[in-house]
Each structure stands twice: as structure tokens, then as C-alpha cells.
């Protein structure tokens, strides 16, 4: 066979020595130092991973500490109020109760078109062209149980009115003026109550004519239903410069207008819907909407209070055509309320329904006018602070337990934790214990964590049994109730002191970064050494195999030569025997 070295290699066939196995065993023996180095590298990689786990636990502890430094957590308040008032209370709120009376809510300024945007309905053309806000479908509709047919492609509004009047339904239909003096409202009158529609109707005429939304009234003994809104209205989706828009006052050119100083541009190809959307997405501070019943554009200030909406056509005539420049603005009003503990209970005013700054840490949300004073109660809430303390203790114990487990030595099994002898982790754990067990506040009713119920066990605990930290919930809660600011001072000092130390441990170039970099350097050094030894061992194996191959080749050549010599000797002996016999 041909081996890896390009020479004839028949292991042991000539020599009788299984030299391939011999070489392999010799190489395996010489590989043992490399295996030991690889095991050492694996141990270092595991230690590096454990340092990463340690870093994660310290980060969790730092986050828990940050919650202890939040006044909104440690000094949390609960707040409750009756109907008409909502309340939130921050850490500066003083526990207690007071009364709030709301006489008036703040409202926004509103301005709507002074006239209808669209043209009135055209009763003399087919309904499909009459300018109705909702397209009429063909079929039948019923009044007082009498079916009336309609075909919008052929019938005019006048045709339908005449058909109703001649139907025998007992009602009189007519076209009357809208709020702007134009014939644009369909009216039904009868001596008896009017019943609109039935389950057999196939046309939407009654809803398209806005009769189904109209309120039936008795006027002087006559029952009457009017369309709830204008029949003929503007076409919101058509370009404002086209006749299809059906604008009562045409918009004559591209242009721009300003609302509260914010300029909005438009072209004749824009639809009214697009312009409304542009207003609403701007910073003008208003919400634009279309009233389909009154056929008006309405602007409502987003802020409440007695402030006008500033309107101006910069170029073009959009606002003028929309009837907004000539419209009277319904100015918003300020909220009027009183608080029993402020201003001697006298009325106060606010431009918004959110009232803050009058009572420390308290925000009131006025929801409605109150018939009588509403009681607001603010109280200490120990829950968030207690939960933050318990979370801090849990994360602290996770760090300390991790260090104890990974640096432990079991004399019974004579096994050591992977980080035994690692001075970095033991130093961090020791610093944490030292910082948290000492005096944190120089003066005051509470100076240490133990004073507020965070300790490693009650006084008198047997040595070795008080290892983990704990929270005495009853003691902590009582301390919060007695002096919440003093409790916060202790927790804030702990968070600042330990948090600052953890920054130096966890930060870039910090203690753990240096430690992990040292592991990286040692692992790299081992990898380089292992690689060099592997190269040397490969060359050693190659040399041994070549030597044995050379030996096999030489033996094979000698064997051939020996065979040839033997053959010659036999041949020579045969010749001599022949000569003797013949003689």
C-alpha cells in the first residue's frame, strides 16, 4: 500500500514489527503534556464564564440598588377620590385628606363654518346626480307599511316626493329650508305617528335622506319627521378645484393658510379630506373634523381654556370659502374649582382640567362638575418600597451565595470550587458585606440597614447560621410609617455607596474587565503553546513513520537481493552436478 509519505508502506510485512501501532502509542504518550494543557485551558475558560455569570449577578444587584434610590418607589403614596375627580400622588405628597369641589370644567375653543360647505340638493335631476351625501340604492322603502319604489338613475327627488304623497301612506312629503335658508331638508308630516321602514325594504332611501336619524315631533297636533341633516353636501373626496366637490363657495387657486401661526398649503387637486388630514397632522394645535349633518368644517383647539384660534388666508381663499374667517368662535372656558386646604377654600381657576402645583406632589384630574365636595385621601404606601428592599436582598444574596459556592472547598470529598483562590470575587463579596453592614447615615433615627430591618438575622443567631441577608417586613414597614424620609436616607446612602463601587467593578476598564482580560491573555498563551507543541508532535510523527518506511523498504530490497543470490547459487550447483554426471 502507499502511505501518506509517498513511499511503499506495508506495516510489518517485511520486518514483522507492527510499527504503525508502535508509532501511534509513542505519539499518544508524548501528547500527554498537550492534553494536560488543554484541560488547563478548559478550566480557565470555565472560570472566565463564571466571571461572566458573576458580572451578570452584580448588574442585577446594581439595578435593584437603583430602585432603592427612587423617591417614587420608597416614598410611594396611594391616593383616592370620589366621582368627578381623579388624583395621583408622588413622594412629596403629604398624607392626609382634603375636599375638592368642581364648579366648571375647562373646555376648548371651537369654530365651525358660518355656512354650509356644499351646495343644496338639486331636486330636479336624477338622485345619482343630486348631490346627496349618501348614494341612494334602487329598490323599495316603506312608510307606514306602504312600499314606495325608487330608481336613483332615473328618479329625481321631486319624483320621489310626489310618489310618497300619492302612495296612500297618509303622509305629506316636502322639501323645506335648512339652517342656511336653502331647500335642503326632506320633511314628512302626518296626522298620526309615522312609521319608517320595514324588514322588506331593499332601498336605503330613508337613511340616505337622513330621515331614519330624524326625531319625530308633534307640532300643533301634526306629527313631523325632518331630515337630521342637510341632504345636499360637499363631496369630501373630490378635488376642491373641481365642480364635483360641489362647494357652495368655490376655491379659486392653489394657496396656503395659517392656523395658530402654522402654515398649511394646498392645491386645487387636493380633496377636502386630504386638507383636513394635513391640518390634523400639523403642529397647529387644533383638530379638524367634518360635520356631515350640518355640512360644516369644525376646528377644535386641542388645549382647553379661553384662547382664540388664530386663522388667516395667506394666499388663496380656502378659509374664506370654508366659512371659517367669518364664523364666531365659541371660546373655551377655564376650569373653576376649590380645594378646602388651599386659598381658604375660595374658588380657583385653571386653563386645563389637570391641576398640579397647588398641593405638593399631588395632581388632580377634574372629570366633571360635582354637586358636593369630593374627599381626596392620600396615604403612605409601603408596598413598593418593601418590594424594592426584598428585591435588593434577593439580588445581594444571589451574589454572595454564588461566591460562596464557587470558592468553596469540601474537605470530605477534597474538591474545590472553580473560583477557589480567585481574589477578585472574594474581594468584591467582602467589600459588599463591609459597605452594607456599616453606618450609612451619620445621624438620625436610622443609620444602618439593620435599623430598618435589613440584616443577616436576629441578634444571638448561632455562628455560621446568619449568612444570607433578609428583610424583616414588619420592622421595615413600621420604620416607613414612623419616618419615611429617614428610611429613604439610609437606602439612598446604600444605593449611592454600593452603586458607586459596582460602577468601578463593572465599568469599562473596571476590576472585572481587567480580570476577564487576564483570562483571555492566559487562554491565548496556552493556545499558542498547544499549537506549537502540536506542530512539533506532527513533525515527530512524520519523522518516525518515514524511518520505519525506510526500514521496511530496505528490508524488502535485501530480501529481493537474498532471493536473487540464492537462485544464482542453486543454478550454479545444478550446473556442476550435470557436468559430473556427464563425465
- Residues 495-540 have pLDDT tens digits of 999 999 998 888 888 888 877 777 777 878 778 877 888 788 788 7
> What average pLDDT does range 316-333 have in this prediction?
96
Please tell me the predicted confidence (pLDDT) of residue 460.
45
Sheet of strand 262-266: strand arrangement: 262-266, 255-259, 311-315
Contact indicator for 108, 301 with CB cutoff of 8 Å = yes
| Percent of the chain's residues with pLDDT above 90 | 69
Neighbours of 188 (CB within 10 A): 25
Decide which of 496, 513, 530 is a domain's last residue. Answer: 513
Residues 388, 507: one domain?
yes
3-state secondary structure 382-450: HHHHHHHHHHHHHHHHHHHHHHHHHCCEECCCCEECCCCCCHHHHHHHHHHHHHHHCCCCCCCCCCCCH
Same domain, yes or no, for 352 and 468?
Answer: no
3-state secondary structure of 348: strand
At residue 160, the pLDDT reads 97
Residue of higher predicted confidence among 516 and 14: 516
Query: Does residue 65 sit in the same domain as residue 162?
Result: no
Between these two residues, 10 and 422, which has the higher pLDDT value?
Answer: 422
- Considering the domain architecture, whether residues 174 and 93 belong to the same structural domain is answered as no
Strand partners, 380: 77
Measured in degrees and rounded to the nearest 5, phi and psi for residue 36 equal: -65, -40
Q: Is the pLDDT of residue 48 over 70?
A: yes
Q: What is the predicted pLDDT for the residue at 421?
A: 86
| Cα–Cα dist 515/521, whole Å | 10
Flag the least confident range among 72-86, 366-380, 516-530: 516-530
CA nearest to 133, candidates 231, 207, 226, 10: 231
CB 403 within 8 A of CB 68: no
Three-class SS of residue 415? strand
Is there a domain that residue 249 lies in?
no
Which secondary structure element, helix H or strand E, spans residue 315, and what is its range?
strand 311-315
For residues 21 and 523, give the distance between their C-alpha atoms in angstroms, rounded to a whole number: 33
In a domain, 140, yes or no: yes
Residue 408 lies in a domain: yes
Cell of 6: 509517498
Whether residue 472 lies inside any domain: the answer is yes
Whether the per-residue pLDDT at 344 is higher than 80: the answer is yes
pLDDT of residue 10: 46
| Domain boundary residue, one of 226, 246, 273 | 226
578 has a pLDDT exceeding 80: no
Has residue 149 got a pLDDT over 70?
yes
- 28 inside domain: no
**What span, in angstroms and rounded, lies between the C-alpha atoms of 150 and 145?**
16
On the question of pLDDT at 582 being above 70, the answer is: no
Of 513, 533, 563, the residue that ends a domain is 513
Half-sphere exposure of 269 (CA within 13 A, CB side): 0
Do both 364 and 431 map to the same domain? no
Mean pLDDT of 25-40: 79
Tell whether 158 and 66 lie within a shared domain.
no
pLDDT at 464 over 80: no
Contacts of 434 (CB under 8 A, 6+ apart): none
- Please check whether residue 189 lies inside any domain of the structure: yes
Do 339 and 390 lie in one domain? The reply is: no
The whole domain housing 409 covers: 57-73+382-513
Please check whether residue 48 lies inside any domain of the structure.
no
Mean predicted lDDT score pLDDT of the chain: 89
| Whole-number pLDDT of residue 1 | 38
Shared domain check, 502 and 410: yes
Number of domains in the chain: 3
Do 440 and 505 lie in one domain? The reply is yes
Same domain, 453 and 422: yes
Mean pLDDT of 240-249: 96
Grid coordinates belonging to 104: 366648571
446, part of any domain: yes
Same domain, 509 and 454: yes
Residue 232 confidence (pLDDT) above 80: yes
State the CB neighbour count (10 A cutoff) for residue 193. Answer: 10
Look at residue 458 in the predicted model and tell me its pLDDT.
Answer: 58
Residues 108-142: pLDDT tens digits? 999 999 999 999 999 999 999 999 999 999 999 99
386 shares its domain with 453: yes
The reported pLDDT for the residue numbered 506 is 86
Amino acid at each position: 500500500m502507499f502511505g501518506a509519505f509517498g513511499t511503499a508502506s506495508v506495516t510489518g510485512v517485511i520486518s514483522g514489527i507492527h510499527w504503525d501501532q508502535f508509532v501511534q502509542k509513542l505519539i499518544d504518550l508524548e501528547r500527554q503534556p498537550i492534553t494536560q494543557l488543554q484541560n488547563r485551558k478548559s478550566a480557565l475558560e470555565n472560570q472566565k464564564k463564571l466571571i461572566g455569570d458573576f458580572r451578570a449577578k452584580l448588574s442585577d444587584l446594581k439595578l435593584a440598588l437603583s430602585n432603592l434610590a427612587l423617591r417614587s418607589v420608597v416614598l410611594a403614596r396611594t391616593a383616592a377620590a370620589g366621582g368627578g375627580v381623579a388624583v395621583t400622588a408622588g413622594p412629596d405628597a403629604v398624607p392626609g385628606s382634603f375636599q375638592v369641589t368642581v364648579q366648571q370644567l375647562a373646555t376648548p375653543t371651537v369654530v365651525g363654518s358660518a355656512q354650509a360647505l356644499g351646495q343644496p340638493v338639486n331636486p330636479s335631476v336624477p338622485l345619482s346626480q343630486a348631490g346627496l351625501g349618501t348614494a341612494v340604492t334602487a329598490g323599495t322603502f316603506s312608510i307606514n307599511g306602504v312600499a314606495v319604489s325608487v330608481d336613483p338613475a332615473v328618479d329625481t327627488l321631486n319624483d320621489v316626493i310626489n310618489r310618497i304623497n300619492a302612495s296612500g301612506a297618509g303622509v305629506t312629503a316636502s322639501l323645506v329650508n335648512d339652517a342656511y335658508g336653502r331647500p335642503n331638508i326632506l320633511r314628512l308630516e302626518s296626522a298620526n305617528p309615522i312609521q319608517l321602514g320595514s324588514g322588506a325594504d331593499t332601498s336605503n332611501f330613508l337613511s340616505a335622506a337622513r330621515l331614519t336619524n330624524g326625531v319625530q315631533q308633534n307640532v300643533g297636533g301634526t306629527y313631523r319627521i325632518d331630515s337630521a341633516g342637510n341632504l345636499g353636501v360637499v363631496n369630501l373626496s373630490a378635488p376642491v378645484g373641481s365642480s364635483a366637490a360641489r362647494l357652495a363657495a368655490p376655491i379659486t387657486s392653489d394657496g396656503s393658510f395659517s392656523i395658530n401661526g402654522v402654515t398649511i398649503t394646498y392645491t386645487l387637486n387636493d380633496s377636502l379630506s386630504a386638507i383636513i388630514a394635513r391640518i390634523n397632522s400639523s403642529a397647529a394645535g387644533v383638530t379638524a373634523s367634518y360635520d356631515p349633518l350640518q355640512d360644516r368644517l369644525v376646528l377644535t383647539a386641542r388645549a382647553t381654556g379661553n384662547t382664540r384660534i388664530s386663522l388667516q388666508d395667506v394666499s388663496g381663499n380656502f378659509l374664506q370659502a370654508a366659512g371659517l374667517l367669518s364664523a364666531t368662535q365659541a371660546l373655551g372656558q377655564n376650569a373653576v374649582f376649590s380645594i378646602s386646604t388651599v386659598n381658604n377654600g375660595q374658588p380657583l381657576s385653571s386653563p386645563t382640567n389637570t391641576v398640579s402645583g397647588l398641593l405638593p406632589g399631588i395632581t388632580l384630574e377634574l372629570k366633571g362638575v360635582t354637586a358636593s365636595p369630593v374627599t381626596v385621601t392620600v396615604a403612605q404606601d409601603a408596598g413598593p418600597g418593601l418590594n424594592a428592599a426584598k428585591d435588593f436582598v434577593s439580588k445581594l444574596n444571589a451574589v454572595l451565595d454564588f461566591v460562596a459556592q464557587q470558592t468553596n472547598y469540601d474537605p470530605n470529598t477534597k474538591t474545590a470550587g472553580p473560583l477557589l483562590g480567585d481574589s477578585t470575587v472574594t474581594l468584591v463579596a467582602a467589600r459588599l458585606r463591609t459597605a452594607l453592614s456599616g453606618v450609612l447615615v451619620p445621624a438620625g433615627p436610622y443609620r444602618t440597614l439593620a435599623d430598618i430591618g435589613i440584616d443577616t438575622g436576629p441578634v444571638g443567631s448561632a455562628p455560621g447560621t446568619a449568612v444570607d441577608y433578609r428583610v424583616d417586613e414588619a420592622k421595615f414597614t413600621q420604620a416607613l410609617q414612623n419616618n419615611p424620609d429617614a428610611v429613604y436616607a439610609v437606602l439612598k446612602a446604600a444605593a449611592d455607596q454600593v452603586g458607586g463601587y459596582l460602577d468601578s467593578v463593572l465599568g469599562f476598564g473596571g476590576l472585572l474587565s481587567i480580570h476577564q482580560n487576564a483570562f483571555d491573555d492566559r487562554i491565548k498563551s496556552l493556545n499558542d503553546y498547544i499549537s506549537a507543541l502540536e506542530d512539533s508532535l506532527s513533525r515527530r510523527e512524520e519523522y518516525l513513520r518515514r524511518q520505519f518506511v525506510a526500514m521496511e523498504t530496505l528490508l524488502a530490497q535485501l530480501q529481493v537481493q537474498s532471493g536473487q543470490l540464492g537462485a544464482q547459487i542453486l543454478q550454479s550447483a545444478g550446473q556442476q552436478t550435470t557436468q559430473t554426471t556427464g563425465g
